[in-house]
Amino acid sequence: MSNHTQELLEESRQGEATLLNAITASGNRKLYLESYGCQMNFSDSEIVASILSEAGYDTTKNLYESDVVLLNTCAIRENAEQRVRQRLKDFQGLKKSNPRLVVGVLGCMAERLKEKFLEEEKLVDLVAGPDAYRALPDLIAEVETGQKAMNVLLSLEETYADINPVRMGSNGVSAFISIMRGCDNMCSFCVVPFTRGRERSRDPESIVKEAQELFDNGFREVTLLGQNVDSYLFYGGGPKKDFKQLSEEEKGRAVNFAGLLAKVAAVSPLLRVRFTTSNPGDMTDEVLETMAAWPNICKYIHLPVQSGNSDVLHRMNRGYDRPTYMNRIAAIRRIMPDCAISTDIITGFCGETEEEHKDTLSLMQEVGYDYAYMFQYSERPRTLAARKFKDDVAQEEKNRRLKEIIQIQSEWSLKRNQEVLGQTVEVLVEGVSKKSEEDLFGRTSQYKVVVFPKEQFKPGDYVQVKVHDCTSATLLGKALTS
Ligand code: 5AD
Ligand code: SF4
């Protein structure tokens, strides 16, 4: 993966960025695929590329040579949707000069807007929701007969387990593996349960096989993806069930998230294992103990808190309060003192008072996150919050609160990086630094970016680096001579 791509992926965790994915091959028709939003969308795009490659499409990064343009979209916040609308407008000229061009919208925004997309956004020929990607070749064929095509059916079973993703824009070192789909949590602000449907877990054997193949192809890091990985439970396929609901036979073969982590970690001690996203209400000590037991499971947890106030958390329907969240933080610190922690925070949620906002600030000081993704609340149609509460925190107030949150976080990010000064850390090299050809960059187990002089090292190497300097975003060091 290029530095630029890495940077975009980084941003994409915030649900905002664009990635132009591509590899060009010969012959065949050309597919231009652009992804927005979370890592799950980027992972889905690799599945889409695989399905369409079977149907005779090669991906291209040259928009102007493409026969089919697909945007894999995000609906998490209003501004994510606006970016897609703008992008569709950009395509207007293209469509005029090439009337045979097929333009399609995939992902969460497609699922949310359904036929409205075809009716209102005249530029779109095709709409496919997150569980409909196997139908894409047929949908494109339908468009080519002069019709508009749509499939937004959500599934209780689809996990794309048998699809071998095309690793687009890959750095050849780290890859995503999607382990589950959908979400059953119904946090009141969140549109995901409506756009990605019910939660279902993927067969662990297919996950381990994918990890093994990646390792055999030189990859050294996999990130297991799910909206709520802690509730992963495979009992033979189908929609989510609690362990208690399983039959004796299902219990016998059931694999939970801790079990899955251990299976993937066993592929090789040289394969780093990461995962996202954890849910504070579901994260068990068993998962933490499994992380502690396997040196190759990275010591980094993204544990979204959203708010530091229990009443706000209740309105958000998060299923935990502040003390429960802090209990999970204490468990992480107890079981893995060297574990880095990051979070997501929403500011200005419905009815949030100044006092409640201050509780978020105090929680941030109490935890001292290594990193945080911070957002202003954006009302999403159909969600519980949109139906039940007023989006009543004034825009200037949201701006001010967000600024305060960002300020505290940048202080902590710097402080957490300064703690590493003078230490020697193991870095998995991902590529060449964006600032200098002479430097490489990679990450520590704690997900911290480290930049150091290249010497004889290359992507995929594990290097012991002594850290001598840092900013709030990056550690600077030098490889130890062995
Ligand atoms: N407004 C603002 N932020 C949101 N998120 C999810 N829904 C919304 C919303 N309606 C944030 C949450 C979540 C992250 C992926 O996006 O913090 O953890
Ligand atoms: Fe949305 Fe909550 Fe599910 Fe995350 S856990 S996807 S915030 S509903």
Q: What is the pLDDT of residues 59-101, one digit of tens each?
A: 999 999 999 999 999 999 999 999 999 999 888 888 888 889 9
CA 420 to centroid of ligand 2, rounded, Å? 32
Q: Check: CB of residue 368 under 8 Å from CB of residue 414.
A: no
Is the confidence at residue 218, as pLDDT, over 90?
yes
Tell me: pLDDT of 20 over 80: no
Q: Which ligand is nearest to the CA of 185?
A: 2
- Which pLDDT value is given to residue 249? 85
Q: What is the pLDDT of residues 187-199, one digit of tens each?
A: 999 999 999 999 9
Instruction: Give 268-299 pLDDT, tens digit per residue.
Output: 999 999 999 999 999 999 999 999 999 999 99
Residue 19 banded pLDDT, cuts 50, 70, 90: very low
| β-strand partners of 469 | 476
pLDDT score for 27: 59
Query: 104 CA distance to ligand 1 centroid (A)?
Result: 25
Ligand in nearest proximity to the CA of 317: 2
Write the CB contacts of 76 (distance below 8 Å, at least 6 apart in sequence).
15, 37, 38, 108, 190, 191, 192, 378, 380
Whether the per-residue pLDDT at 26 is higher than 70: the answer is no
Gap between the Cα atoms of 253 and 256, Å rounded: 10
481 pLDDT band, cuts 50/70/90, is: confident
The torsion of the CA quartet 143, 83, 9, 381, rounded to 10 degrees, works out to -90
Residue 330 has pLDDT above 50, yes or no: yes
Q: Which residue's CA lies nearest to atom 13 of ligand 1?
A: 344
The predicted structure's pLDDT at residue 123: 78
State residue 482's pLDDT score: 60
**Tokens of residue 447, six digits:** 């997900």
pLDDT of 239 above 70: yes
Q: 25-39, 423-437, 447-461 — which is least confidently predicted?
A: 25-39
| 250: confidence class by pLDDT, cuts 50, 70, 90 | confident
Q: How many angstroms separate the alpha carbon of residue 155 from the centre of ligand 1?
A: 23
Question: Would the pLDDT of 325 be above 90?
Answer: yes
DSSP class per residue in 172-219: SSEEEEE-EE------TT--HHHHH-S-EE--HHHHHHHHHHHHHTT-
Pocket test for ligand 2, best of 13, 186, 227 (most atoms within 8 A of CB): 227
The whole-chain average pLDDT of the chain stands at 92
Q: Across residues 262-268, what is the average pLDDT?
A: 98
Q: Contact at 8 Å (CB) between 357 and 399?
A: no
pLDDT of residue 14: 36
- Mean pLDDT of the region 215-234: 97
HSE-up of residue 448 (Cα within 13 Å, Cβ side): 34
The token duo for 266 is: 């066993």
Express each pLDDT in 107-117 by its tens digit.
999 999 999 88
**What integer is the mean pLDDT of 203-228?**
97
Residue 13 pLDDT > 50 = no
The pLDDT tens digits of the residues spanning 347-365 come to 999 999 999 999 999 999 9
pLDDT-derived band of residue 28, with 50, 70 and 90 as boundaries?
Answer: confident
Ligand 1 centroid to residue 379 C-alpha, Å: 10
Cα gap 61→4, rounded to integer Å = 14
CA distance 15 to 27: 34
Tell me which ligand sits closest to the C-alpha of residue 181. Answer: 2
Q: What is the DSSP letter of 101?
A: -
Give the pLDDT score at 245.
Answer: 87
Q: How far apart are CA 114 and CA 385, in angstroms?
A: 21
Distance CA 413, CA 474 (A): 10
Q: pLDDT exceeding 90 applies to what percent of the chain? A: 85
Structure token pair of residue 178:
């999607």
Q: Which atom of ligand 1 is nearest to the CA of 189?
A: 10
Site of tokens 């756009």: 195
* Number of C-beta neighbours around residue 387 at 10 A: 9
Q: Tell whether the model's pLDDT for residue 388 goes beyond 90.
A: yes
| pLDDT tens readout for residues 398-433 | 999 999 999 999 999 999 999 999 999 999 999 999
| Residue carrying structure tokens 């291209």 | 60
| Domains (range + CATH), the chain | 3-151 (3.40.50.2300), 170-298 (3.30.750.210), 302-419 (3.30.750.200), 424-479 (2.40.50.140)
Give the pLDDT mean for 231-236: 92
**Is the pLDDT at 6 greater than 50, yes or no?**
no
The residue type found at 24 is T
Q: How far apart are CA 49 and CA 274, in angstroms?
A: 24
The better pLDDT of the pair 328, 253 is held by 328
Structure tokens at 106: 């995939």
Burial group, residue 90, by CB count within 10 angstroms (0-12, 13-18, 19+): exposed
Residue 345 has pLDDT above 60, yes or no: yes
Smallest CA separation from ligand 2 atom 4, residue = 227
Distance CA 372, CA 364 (A): 10
Tokens standing for residue 426 = 């193991």
72 neighbors 106 (Cβ within 8 angstroms): yes
For residue 3, the model assigns a pLDDT of: 40
Q: Select from 311, 303, 269, 271 the least CA-distant residue to 287.
A: 303
274 alpha carbon to ligand 2 midpoint, in Å? 19
